[in-house]
Structure formats: C-alpha cells, structure tokens
Structure 1
Amino acid sequence: MATSPTVQRSTDPQGIDALHKLVLTSLDDDQAVETVSIPLAGKSSIADYMVVASGRSTRQVASMAMKLAEKIKAECGRSPRIEGLPTADWVLIDAGDVIVHLFRPEVRSFYNLERMWSFGEASPA
C-alpha cells in the first residue's frame, strides 16, 4: 500500500476512546466478522488502537469502509485516509489514533496481522 501523509493524532484520551468506540460500534452495526481490537498505546507510535475485522465479501468490506469513514468525518471531524478500496480485499482506514484493517477472510488469514501486532494481548472487541 502506498504511503501518504498521516492523519493528525489527538492528545485527548476521551477523544481517542470516543473514536475507538465509534469504530467498534460502526463495525458491529455493519455485521463485521471477528472484530479484534489491539491496544497499541505505549507500544507503537503509529496509533493507540488497531482494529482488525472481516467482511464476507469485497462488497461488504467496501461498504463498511465507506460508512466508517463517513461516520468518523461526521462525528469526529477527521478525514480518515483510506487505502485499498478499489479491490476491497484489504482496506486500511487511518483515522490517526485508530487504524482499521478490513479484510475478506482469506486475505486476513494470509496476512495474520493480529499475531504480528497483538503483543499477546489481542482481545475480541
């Protein structure tokens, strides 16, 4: 995935928690499968949370990504960066403090991000 400017990070813990909750709620509303939230605060400078979830098809992955980006913009005033939307096998949504990876199940199994990033602490959301 190409790199582009990062989304602004927040220093407000309540704002970070609100964004994280918004992400989890949106994915739950859109029937994401096997949603996992990985806390990164103090372990990585890229974000405070990484959320990994699956959709049953490329259409569902793309739909979840677009709806989530719209909600983040409307409710948090941030314009998240989205990569991978044209193929929707793996879509990355960078909302600054929360990084979201949406996969088709086969692609998620192949990359296994939870194992790589969990630090032994991945928890179902």
Structure 2
Amino acid sequence: MPSPAGISVNHAASRAIDTVLASLDDSKAENVISIDIQGKSSLGDYMVIASGRSHRHVAAVADHLLKALKDAGLGSARVEGLASADWVLIDSGDVIVHIFRPEVRDFYNLEKMWQTPDLEEETLH
C-alpha cells in the first residue's frame, strides 16, 4: 500500500500535468505532446513539448502557463529562454514544459529523443 506521501506526490504531478495541458490548450499552443518520463528520468514525471506560431505567441503561451501554475497553487516555476522566446523551458518540478517556435522544435527534435524505447526494453523483446 502506498504511503500518504506517495499519494500526495502522484496527486501533485497529476494536478500539474492537467493544469499545464489545459493552459496550453487555452493559449492555442500547437502540436502539444505529453511524454510520461516517470522511471526514465529523475528530472520530473512528465515532459510536455509544444509549439507557438511566432516569438510573440511562444512568449504569450509561456506567460499564460506561468500564471496558471501559480493560480493552481503549484508555486513559481523556473523559466529559461523567455527573453528570446525561441525555446522557453518551464520547470514546475513534476512537469517540464518546452515551448518552441516550429523551426527550433524541428531542429532539436526532443520528442524523438524522449520517445525512443529504452535499450534495456529493446533487448528484452
């Protein structure tokens, strides 16, 4: 049986991913992909990758998300890249969000890196 602390941690991650996805949808972020990284990385439980149409849209999506996280009681997230708005990284602890301009997203192709099967899993099959 999980400990009460484990339940609250999972609940917090679930609340955070729901808040992130709702905010991105409200902001009209494009090509939103959510990747469950629990057990694959100690960085967080989920990684979300999304695109904005322009520098201005990327910055607006990021600002809206930061406000949504704070309003949901999930604290202040760490932010990188907001000034240039080519690639904004928002780390809320449980959920890491990457918001890209489409050309930058295509160049880095993070979803391919995180969605590839683990080598250990491949050798077991």
TM-score tier by shorter-chain length is 0.7 to 0.9
Task: Choose between structure 1 and 2 for higher RCO, CA contacts under 8 A separated by at least 6 residues.
Answer: 1
CA distance, structure 1, for counterparts of residue 85 and residue 41 of structure 2: 26
Check the 8 A contact 1:65/1:91 in 2, yes or no. Answer: yes
Greater Rg over alpha carbons, structure:
2
Deviation of 1:92 (Å): 0.2
Deviations 1:17-49 (A, max 9, x none): 011010001001111110000100011000000
Partner SS for 1:25: helix
Deviation of 1:117 (Å): 1.0
Alignment of 1:55-70 (within 5 A): 55-70=52-67
Deviation of 1:16 (Å): 0.8
Q: Which residue matches 1:13?
A: 10
TM-score where L is the length of structure 1: 0.85
Unaligned runs of 5+ in 1: 1-9, 121-125
Q: Root-mean-square deviation (CA), in Å?
A: 1.6
CA distance, structure 1, for counterparts of residue 105 and residue 59 of structure 2: 15
Unaligned runs of 5+ in 2: 1-6, 118-125
Give the structure with the higher percent helix: 2
The percentage of aligned residue pairs carrying the same residue is: 53
TM-score where L is the length of structure 2: 0.85
